[in-house]
């Protein structure tokens, strides 16, 4: 039978489907006798796209070290995108075999930043693969270039590296503390500091822009132990540390954009594609100021009041809340999400108060404080900064009385808010009085919003602000 089968399969005629099925069964049954080498499972960890505008990311810190065992869903690295710092998790179990982009390095979205080995035995092979990949593509991931002038400045201005025991002495001068106002640290560094009971105010940041990373916390722990064994720090020593001058900016030097500055630049250029126009309006704020004084102690902010008033006005003028993205149609957005511009170190971001028309003023104020804290710590999630349908930009706290704002791409309008100032006005009965008034200027997309639409919206907004009783409901 076997001989007949071999002869039959070896004949020159075209086999039928039954013959093909039989041949497949024979090949499948003999497959185990053909031993194939087991392929190693070395996976690449890619630079993820953390936002729709992100094209590259910077490695803030590696949460894990080479050789560490990883579990699916565990944080591996902290990445700085164009908007925030975010933890990146692994999708597989395994071992962090090779780090291909060091802390402070930059990698394009989709490029490999590390290799993950399935077993410990595969780690050497992964390291070899990483080395060959790095030599073949040295330009894919690198630290920002340093000009010869910057290198010379750093060499002249940088003192000899202090011992670990001295790290805590210079804590008041490091950039991450921003003169003691706030601390900029990676999420893992904060967690490590809590576990080790280390005060971040006493830690010197060595990450990008002085950010505190995990190794700084560990160094501070070692330094604290060393300092405890030595003489107490004198006030004179503290004075010397506090008076340490910061390296000045070199005039004439060329400074590359940060990821956030690059994103802002692209958005501003893109905004020029929309035909815009501007309408200004004067609003009396005496009643709003009185309301603010009454409820300020309950945690209500003026920003939340303005956002709430704007959202309430938008419910009556939905066209102002529209957006045009393709130049051929526009969308009546289903939610009123008020984005508010916030200046942070190295850029600008717009945290979003979701459905501001439906949230009470007290919850809205608490949410706003949470968003600002997350924005300054660069921990906003994409939905918290890219889902705005209408934008507010307020420079009133700086005494600016009026200005124009640039329309963010994908939105229909942005309102610039100036400071409320005492103004001499004529009342309806012909008398002269003094009232607090502020100027608002709205920039709108003229493809979908017309002058009459904007004028009607501003009239409604003025009525809400000048009679704000409904803001607290």
Say how far apart CA 219 and CA 170 lie, in whole Å.
13
- The per-type count for the chain, helices as H runs and strands as E runs, is 12, 20
**From the candidates 19, 137, 174, 446, which is the catalytic residue?**
446
Please check whether residue 383 is in contact with residue 278, taking contact to mean a CB–CB distance below 8 angstroms. no
Distance CA 307, CA 417 (A): 11
Locate 29 and state its tokens: 């049954």
Rounded (5°) CA angle 316-421-407: 45
**CA-closest candidate to residue 426, choices 435, 438, 418:** 435
Residue 157: how many other CB atoms lie within 10 Å: 12
Cα separation, 209 vs 186, in Å, equals 12
CA atoms of 410 and 406, how far apart (whole Å): 12
How far is residue 97 from each of residues 113, 129, 228, measured CA to CA in Å? Answer: 11, 10, 37
Q: How many CB atoms lie within 10 A of CB 65?
A: 9
Question: What does the alpha-carbon distance between residue 186 and residue 309 come to, in Å, rounded to a whole number?
Answer: 36
423 backbone φψ class: left, alpha, beta (φ>0; ψ -120 to 50)? beta
Q: Is 138 exposed, middle or buried (0-12, 13-18, 19+ CB in 10 A)?
A: exposed
Query: Residue 328 phi/psi, 5° resolution?
Result: -120, -15
CB burial readout 114-126, b (16+ within 10 A) else e: bbbbbeeebbeeb
Longest CA–CA span in the chain (Å) reads 119
The answer to whether 174 is a known catalytic residue is: no
Strand order in the sheet with 75-80: 85-89, 75-80, 56-62, 106-108, 141-142
What is the C-alpha separation between 339 and 350, in angstroms, rounded? 5
Q: What does residue 182 show for φ and ψ, rounded to 5 degrees?
A: -160, 165
Give CA–CA dist 43/109, Å, rounded.
Answer: 16
Residues 274, 445: contact at Cβ < 8 Å? yes
The DSSP-derived string for 65-132 is -TT-EE-TT-EEEEEE-SS-EEEEE-SS-EEEEEE-S-TT-EEETTSEEEEEESSGGGHHHHHHHHHH
Tell me the catalytic residues: 446
């Amino acid at each position: 039978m076997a001989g007949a089968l071999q002869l039959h399969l070896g004949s020159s005629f075209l086999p039928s489907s039954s013959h093909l099925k039989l041949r497949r069964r024979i090949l499948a049954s003999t497959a185990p006798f053909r031993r194939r080498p087991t392929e190693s499972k070395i996976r690449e960890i890619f630079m993820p796209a953390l936002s729709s505008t992100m094209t590259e990311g910077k490695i803030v810190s590696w949460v894990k070290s080479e050789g560490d065992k990883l579990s699916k869903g565990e944080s591996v690295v902290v990445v700085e995108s164009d908007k925030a710092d975010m933890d990146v998790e692994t999708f597989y179990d395994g071992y962090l075999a090779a780090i291909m982009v060091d802390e402070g390095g930059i990698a394009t979205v989709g490029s490999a930043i590390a290799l993950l080995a399935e077993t410990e035995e595969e780690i050497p092979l992964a390291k070899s693969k990483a080395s060959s990949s790095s030599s073949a593509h040295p330009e894919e991931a690198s630290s920002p270039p340093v000009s010869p002038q910057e290198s010379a400045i750093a060499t002249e201005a940088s003192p000899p590296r202090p011992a670990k025991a001295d790290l805590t002495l210079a804590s008041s001068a490091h950039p991450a503390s921003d003169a003691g106002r706030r601390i900029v640290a990676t999420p893992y560094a904060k967690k490590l500091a809590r576990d080790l009971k280390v005060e971040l105010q006493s830690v010197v940041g060595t990450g990008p822009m002085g950010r505190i990373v995990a190794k700084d916390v560990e160094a501070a722990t070692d330094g604290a132990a060393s300092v405890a064994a030595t003489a107490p720090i004198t006030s004179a020593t503290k004075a010397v540390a506090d008076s340490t001058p910061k390296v000045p900016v070199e005039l004439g030097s060329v400074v590359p954009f940060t990821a956030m500055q690059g994103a802002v630049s692209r958005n501003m250029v893109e905004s020029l594609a929309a035909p815009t126009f501007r309408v200004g309006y004067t609003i009396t704020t005496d009643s709003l100021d009185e309301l603010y004084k009454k409820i300020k102690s309950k945690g209500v902010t003026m920003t939340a009041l303005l956002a709430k008033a704007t959202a309430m006005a938008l419910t009556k003028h939905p066209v102002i809340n529209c957006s045009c993205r393709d130049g051929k149609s526009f969308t009546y957005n289903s939610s009123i999400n008020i984005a508010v511009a916030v200046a942070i170190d190295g850029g600008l971001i717009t945290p979003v108060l979701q459905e501001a028309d439906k949230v009470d003023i007290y919850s809205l104020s608490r949410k706003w404080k949470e968003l600002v804290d997350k924005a300054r710590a660069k921990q906003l999630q994409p939905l918290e900064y890219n889902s705005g349908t209408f934008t507010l930009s307020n420079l009133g706290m700086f005494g600016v009385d009026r200005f124009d704002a640039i329309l963010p791409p994908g939105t229909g309008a942005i309102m610039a808010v100036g400071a409320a100032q005492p103004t001499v006005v004529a009342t309806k009965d012909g008398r002269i009085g003094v009232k607090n008034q502020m100027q608002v200027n709205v920039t709108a997309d003229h493809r979908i919003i017309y002058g009459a639409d904007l004028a009607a919206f501003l009239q409604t907004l003025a009525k809400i602000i000048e009679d704000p009783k409904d803001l607290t409901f």
